[in-house]
Structure formats: C-alpha cells, structure tokens
Chains A and B, each alone.
Chain A
Amino acid sequence: METIKAFMSMVKDSLGYITHGSRTYHIWMIFLTVIMLIGMYCYSIQLDEGLSVTGMTDRVSWGLYISNFTFLVGVAAAAVMLVMPTYVLHDIDFKQAVLIGEGLAVAALIMCLAFVVADMGGPSVLWHMIPGIGVFNFPNSMLAWDVIVLNGYLFINISIPLYILFRHYQGKEAKASVYIPGSILSVLWAVGIHLVTAFLYEGLQARPFWNNALLGPRFLASAFAAGPALIILVLAAIRKFSEFRIEDKTIKKIAMIVTVAAQINLIMLISELFKEFYAPTHHSESAYYLFFGLEGKTALLPWIWTAIPLNILATVLLTFHKLRNNLNVLYFCCFILFVAIWIEKGFGLIVPGFIPGPYGKIAEYTPTWIEIWVTLGIWALGAFIFTMLAKTSIGIELGKLRYRKKEVLDSESV
C-alpha cells in the first residue's frame, strides 16, 4: 500500500516538476510542441491521401522514415555502452551518465516505433501485428523479431531507471541484486536489437547492397560511435543548463568509447569500399550509384560526400589524445560524427538498396516536404520525451524530488 502511495506521489510530483522550469526550458518545450504539431498536421494529410504524398514509389519503396528508424535503433542500442561499466563493473563515474543514457534509449525507441507506424500503409490495422490477437509470422519474419526485441528493450529500459529513481525518490538505495540482472539482460538485448535490425536487411537476397555479412557488425560499430557521441552532446547541454554535476572524467571516458567505435567503423568502411571498387561486379552498382552516381543520376552524391569527409575528420581528430581532451574539439567531433553516421546509416544505406531496381532500372528518390516535416515532428517528439525524462531524473537525483517533501516546487524557482 505504502509503495503504491509513494509511486502515485512520485508521478504527481514529477508532473508538477516538468511543468515548471526556467524560461529557456519553457521556450524549448514550446518550440518542440510547435514542430510536433506541424508534424502531426502533415501526418494527417498523409493518412488522408495515402503514402503517395511521400517521395516513395514502387521502385524505391522505403525512404526517410525507414532510414531514420534504422539509425535510431543504433542510438537506442548505444545506451548499453554506459550501462555495462556502471552497474556491472561498479564504475562510479558513469552513474549519472547512465540514467541519461537510458532516458535517451527510451526516447530513441519511441521514435523508432513512431517511424515504423508513420511508414505503414494501414496504421488502422496495426493490431494484426500484436502477438496473440493478430497473426505473428514468428520466427520467419525478421520484422516480427524486430517488433519483439524493440518492445522488450523498451520495457527493460523503462523499468530499470524507474526502479532506481523510485528507490532514490523514497530516499533509499537501489538494490544491486535487483537491477544488476536486469542490466546484464539489457546489455545482451541491446546487441540483439541491433543485429536483428541489421538482419532485416541482410536477409534479403533480392538486394545485393544489403545482402552482405559485414552489415551487422558495421551496424554495431557505427551505433557505438553515434550513440555515445549524442550522449556526450546531451551531457554537455545538461551541464550547461542544470545544476546536475557531470565530471569531465565521465565525458572523457565516453569519448574513449566513441573513438574506438569510430575507428573500427572506419576500418570496416574501407574494407567495404575495397570490395566494391577493386573488383566491381554486377552487384557493386548500388555502391557506384551511392558514391559516383549512375547514368547521370546523382541525387545521393552530396549526402555521401558530406558524410565521408566528416566521418574521417572526426575519427582523425578523436584519435589524438590532445585534441580529444579539449572539450570544445570533442563536442565538435561528436557533432560531425553524429551527422556523418546519420547520413551513412540512414539515407546512405536504405535508398541505394533499391537503386538500381531488380531489373537495373534507376529511379531516384527525393523526400517530399510532408515526409520531412513528419520526420522532424517525430524527432521533436523524441526530444520532448527525453527532456521530460531527463528533467525528472535529474530532479530526483539532486534530491529536489523526494517523497513527503512538500516544498519541492518552491525550491525550483529559477
């Protein structure tokens, strides 16, 4: 009984807490809301007219939505890089970063699911996919696997931080025997969501660009670069805008992870490029299209030739300890690395899979404004959710939110 009461009180307190804040905070949230509303309006047009309002066609049947979905699965999986050392190896440094990382994973997963729903032709019959009520093509369909692992991961990543925060809210220590098994599971699970998502593409013999054994490992490497890079940026922002203290040491340790992952990613990229261009076969045409264009069709060139130099530049800069330890350089590197991997793992991966088509037809894809706004809307949704989650957990961790402490709201006068 007491627990339920405490929980209700926590929910109430956090609701109060997230609706109060500084001016910057309010402006930020209003800004996100406006973008979400525009996104929703565009989505309503898409619902009404059908997917024909997007740039997708029978020739290129997945586009911006699935690209973002793929990328965000990676971001979600990367939270694990912080979970592992903290909970399992008792590395105290990381403790504050972890709650943030898991909040990021939750936000990223919700965005993933939103992108999948946005991409569906019939969102009103999505219940066909719910196991038990609908028909679930398990274990044959990789998409069915993906639904299971993503939802399972979402569940794990909600429950662990919730447990810890709830204990702290009551002024108690979180019991290691409860959360450590959960953390280990989530570590394994994170690798799982990533591999399964890679298998989604890897398993298609129809698309040689994807049907490539390196796809899974490369997914992992790029995710472990892009995810922690985003976490570093977020931690930097949190340091700036709240009283939450994050040590330089923590950020530098995460930077180490980013660096190693970025280096491995680069090696794999080189190996892939070598295979495609040293002895080009019929199956290298997609790669040709991506990097050089085919028959004068060059829509992806500006994208990929932005991504590659940014990727190399970031990796090189990060490799030098001197540069990496300078926080401003580090933030810059993380930012360009994030952008580079977003292009590479999103657009640069999904679209060329369809070009040239099964019979060599080259039809290009350009997203429409509706698609772009729906995408921005979903990103705003993710940022919105993350801000709320982060604000609550920071409040609890700083002791501003405590069970039976009524003056919570008054102390937050900034």
Chain B
Amino acid sequence: MAEKKKWFQLDLGLSKAQGSGSCGCGKDSGDCGSHSDHPDKEYRLTAEEFDAAVEKELMGETAVSQTQKDGFQQVFDVKMDRRTAFRKLTASLLVGAGAVHTSCSLTAGNETKEKAQIDWEEQFKGNYKLMTKEEKQATVDRLVRSYQLRKKKNIKMSSADASKDVLFGYAFNISKCQGYMNCVSACVEENNQDRNSQMQYIRIHEMKDGEGFKFNEADDNYYHEVPAEGHFYMGTQCFHCDNPPCVNVCPVEATWREEDGLVVIDYDWCIGCRYCMAACPYDGRRFNWSKPEVPEDEVNKNQHYLGNRMRKKGVMEKCTFCVQRSRAGKDPACVEACPTGARIFGNLLDPDSTIRWVLENKQVFRLKEDLGTEPKFWYFMD
C-alpha cells in the first residue's frame, strides 16, 4: 500500500504492475498447467521415484549412521547451540524421560531407537515459521520417516513455500449452491479430518427464500433431501482474512498469514489455548478435543506440513485452502468436488483469473465487513 490509510485494507494489487504472475491461458492460475516455475518439484516425481528417493536418503544417513551409537550419544551428538541445549534439558520432562529410556535400553531394536530419536527431535524443534529451508526439510523428513516406521506406509509431505505474485482468493455463488455438501465430504477426505468427532471445516447454512441472510435461523446441520423447496444455501469456512484477528491473538505465533494470503497453523507449535478460536468472527477454526483418528486406508498420503498432515490431540486446525493442492497448482478439493460450479478459486493478482473476473463483473459482498478483517472470500449471485 503506497499511501497510509487509517484502517486496514486488502491490497489486491489492482494498482500494481500486472502480468508477472499471469500465464495467459485465460483460466485460473492453477488450472492451466503451464506454471513450470512452481517451486515444489516434488509433485512432478512419480510416486515410486519419490518413495525410492526417500528410502535411500533416510536409510543412508539417518538410520545407519546413527544407530551405531548408543542412545545417549545419539541424543547429545546432535549439534546444539546453547538455546537448543537449554530447550532440550528443561521442558517436557515426561516425554524426554520416556525417549531416553527407550533409546538407552539395550534390547530395543534399531527402529525403536530411531523412533525415539525422531520423537525427541520433534518434541524440541522450533516454530516452523522461523525455520530455515533446511530445517523445514529436516522436520518434513522426520515426519515422513516416523510415519514409515510406525505404519509401514510411505507418505509424501511437501514444505513448499508461497510463490511470488500469488494471493489466493475464493468466491461463492449463492445462486448455484444446492446444498449437496459434496464439498464437505471431499474436504474431510482430502484433509484427513478426525472421523470420530465428525469434524468439518465447511458449514453449509440452509436459509429460507425471501427472508434474507438470517444466519441465526439457518440450519447448518441438516439431514434431508436437497435442494429443499423454498430454501437457498450458503457455505462458510475459514475466510483467510487479510487482517486476521486470530493471528494477532496467538501467544506463541503458532498461526500466521503466509505471503500468498493463506492463514496457516503449525500444529506442532500450537499450545492449544484456543484464544484464536475466540477471536475468529467467522467460526473458521476447529479444535482437536481428542486424538484425531482416520482409518489407515482413508488417509490422504499427499500432504503438506502446513496442511493436511496428521494432527495430534489438543491442537487447532482449520481450512488451509488445501495448501497441499493450491501450491501445487491445483484447485482445493471443495472447488473440484462441487457439482454445480458454485465455488471459484484462484490467484487474485492474476488479472486473467476467473476469480478476478467475478470480482470485477459481479456484485460481490463479504460477511461482517464492518469488523475490518478483510476476508478473501466473496459471495455473489448470478
């Protein structure tokens, strides 16, 4: 923003020089496949190639060279500066004691030791937002390896950063939505949400025709045939506010706004205070009240550290605009699943994207604009 404003305002770059991020295919930035400059090369590997690479890397370095040493050496051989050392020595005695115990035991196999080593390092790692590229890669590798050791299955996990000249935005066509809720189930499957508590990021509100937007009288938990006579539907989820109140309040910076406008959470850094939940005016956040469970064969193995990787109990989560998909040039799962085409997603900085077309040609509005949160989620009607 060039000139100083008294209030916060979403900067869509409308006044900026345009074109650097556009690809001229006339579609959403993500859809055309010509974005070869995407930073994460991982997605272009085939699954087998990837698994082989992971296997090689992990077996070569981590496992073999480290399991030769005994447990204490393993733990204290890791290069530490004073800060890390202090961290390791003070906090979380319980977990630490458990890890030392297993890694010291003579009878424990190499795998057990490796697991303990990974748990130990994961417990005391830093905040993802502040990690260097190498540290990010290291934690991702540990998580992949940990899953392999525990479940004997391979997952892919990306740590792709935001690309330049991308700002994600979303539009919802109220006249098209029929309340089928395909988006809801696609979201649950894509993002590995807890099946026991039936956690859902998206809520579809069923409202009566002719009465306007009366959210308080709407039904957001219906079980009947849709579209119901005389009703219309409106979906809500995290709106990825450009001035997100949830981010300001977090005491440990476990949640933040990325360069491409996504508001994300580091599940391993979150302490579960739920202050962000109280601060969100849009009911965008969900908490893991107990350990989230997903049946093994339903786990989506294409993951992102900030997105749909497996969560633990006592941490916050929410919609990430499917960061594992959107940063790989795909549409979020809800957009793809919607049979009516009510959901539109794309790059707000790309003047040729569909979302920009909608914003420029339709009468769009956002919810609770008076709060100054600047959601990047617009509603419109045909």
A155 CB to nearest chain B CB (Å)? 19
Residue contact B216 to A359, C-beta cutoff 8 Å? yes
- Is B315 a contact of A129 with CB atoms below 8 Å? no
In the bound complex, do residue A359 and residue B286 qualify as a contact, i.e. CB atoms below 8 Å apart?
no
Binary per-residue interface labels of chain B (81-95) against chain A in the complex, 1 for a CB within 8 Å, 0 otherwise: 001001100111011
By the criterion CB–CB under 8 Å, are A61 and B278 in contact? yes
B272 within 8 A of A: yes
Interfacial chain B residues near A4, Cβ < 8 Å: none
- Given B123, B279, B283, which contacts A359 in the complex, CB threshold below 8 Å? B283
Tell yes or no: B73 within 8 A of A by CB: no
Q: How far is the CB of B55 from chain A (nearest CB, A)?
A: 31
Q: Contact partner of A52 among B130, B217, B290, B315, CB < 8 A?
A: B290
- Cβ contacts under 8 Å, B287 to chain A: 51, 58, 61, 121
B289 within 8 A of A: yes
CB pair A137 B251 closer than 8 Å:
yes
Q: What secondary structure prevails in chain B residues at the interface with A?
A: loop
Cα distance A101–B245 when bound, in Å?
A: 38
Interface presence of B116 (CB below 8 A): no
A127, A204, A354: the one contacting B91 at CB < 8 Å is A127
Q: Which residue of A lies closest to B373 (CB)?
A: A205
**CB interface residues, A 352-379, toward B, < 8 Å:** 353-354, 356-361
CA distance A57 to B251 in the complex (A): 21
Q: Which of A50, A205, A354 contacts B289 (CB 8 A)?
A: A50
Chain A interface mostly helix, strand, loop or mixed? loop
User: Which residues from B are CB-within-8-Å of A141?
Assistant: 248-251, 275
Q: Please, how many angstroms separate the alpha-carbon atoms of A79 and B116 in the complex?
A: 48
Is B277 an interface residue, CB under 8 A from the partner?
A: yes
Of A122, A142, A206, A361, the residue contacting B270 (CB under 8 A) is: A122
Known: A122-B272, A125-B271, A358-B282. A137 touches B216 (CB 8 A): no
Q: A144: CB under 8 A from chain B?
A: yes
Interface residues of A in 365-405 (CB under 8 A from B): none
What 1/0 flags go to A344-355 for Cβ under 8 Å of B?
A: 000000000110
- 27 interchain pairs (CB within 8 A)? A49-B290, A50-B290, A50-B313, A51-B272, A51-B289, A56-B289, A61-B278, A62-B278, A121-B316, A122-B271, A122-B312, A124-B94, A125-B92, A127-B92, A134-B127, A137-B253, A141-B250, A205-B373, A206-B278, A206-B282, A356-B216, A358-B282, A359-B215, A359-B236, A360-B216, A360-B217, A360-B218
Pick the 10 closest A-B CB pairs, nearest first. A121-B272, A360-B216, A121-B314, A127-B91, A206-B281, A50-B290, A52-B289, A52-B290, A143-B251, A50-B313
19 further A-B pairs in the complex, CB-CB below 8 A; given A50-B313, A143-B275: A51-B287, A56-B289, A58-B277, A120-B272, A121-B270, A121-B274, A121-B316, A122-B270, A125-B269, A127-B91, A128-B127, A129-B251, A133-B90, A135-B127, A137-B252, A140-B248, A205-B371, A358-B280, A360-B216
